[in-house]
Amino acid sequence: MSRSVLLLLSILTLQGSGCNYFLRGVVDNLQTTINSDHAGFRKVFPKDYWISHHYNVNLLCSTDPCCVFRAATVLSDSWLQLRSQLWPEHHSFEFISNLIQALGDRGMTKGRFEDPDPSVLPSVSSSPEKLLNFTSSVFSKWLELGCSTPVDTCPFPTLASPAVEEERPALESKKVRLLTTRAVHRENEGETGMRLHTPPPTNRSPPSKGRLVSK
């Protein structure tokens, strides 16, 4: 049985509570692989290869364990977006599949969220190598948590999340500029309409009062 099949079967049987030393070993091995062959993706992806996804570095923090789980969940989806564009025969397809399993709800984040939807977060574009950097940071934070994680479930960002709230001032400012532009445009149209509908002055002189009419 291949190593990848053993990895997949083992992750599928992980328990949702307690300290899973096997999973920690899997994550540690993946972290070592990333660090030892960090430039490996350069051999299989071109310079201008970008993937649209929803992971943002602001999701990861050092004070709240839920930050690590949220970051892992979104990052798992980011790798899923990349894998969807690859053929199964791709050189990195199996490695990316292992990252998805370890980061997702069958690994590090099992039982932490109820139907998380990363698509509610803003879209960004990154290179595959950048996703590796993000993954290395998330793995490091998760390994630092150890087995003392007091939370069972975590809230997941929604459309009313702080990330979206931060964008509202910019949207409001854009809306004000748009309304101002429309108002000026309408005012100019009104002035043009007045000029178009103003009757031109007549050049005919009124008839003379002293003019005699012949009988």
d(CA 195, CA 132): 64
Query: HSE on the CB side for 109, CA within 13 Å?
Result: 28
Residue 133: closest CA among 26, 45, 57: 57
pLDDT tens digits for the chain (215 residues)?
445 544 554 544 444 445 788 999 999 999 999 998 878 898 899 999 999 999 999 999 877 889 999 999 999 999 999 999 999 999 999 999 999 999 999 899 988 888 899 999 999 999 999 999 999 999 999 999 877 666 678 888 776 444 444 444 555 555 456 455 555 555 555 544 444 444 555 555 555 444 444 44
Residue 145 CB coordination number (10 Å):
13
Query: HSE on the CB side for 123, CA within 13 Å?
Result: 7
Instruction: Enumerate the domain spans of the chain.
Output: 19-161
> What pLDDT, on a 0 to 100 scale, did the predictor assign at position 53?
97
> What pLDDT, on a 0 to 100 scale, did the predictor assign at position 61?
87
CB 129 within 8 A of CB 41: yes
Q: Architecture of domain 19-161 in CATH?
A: Up-down Bundle (1.20)
> What pLDDT, on a 0 to 100 scale, did the predictor assign at position 204?
52
> What pLDDT, on a 0 to 100 scale, did the predictor assign at position 12?
47
d(CA 96, CA 83): 7
Whose tokens are 């993000």? That residue is: 134
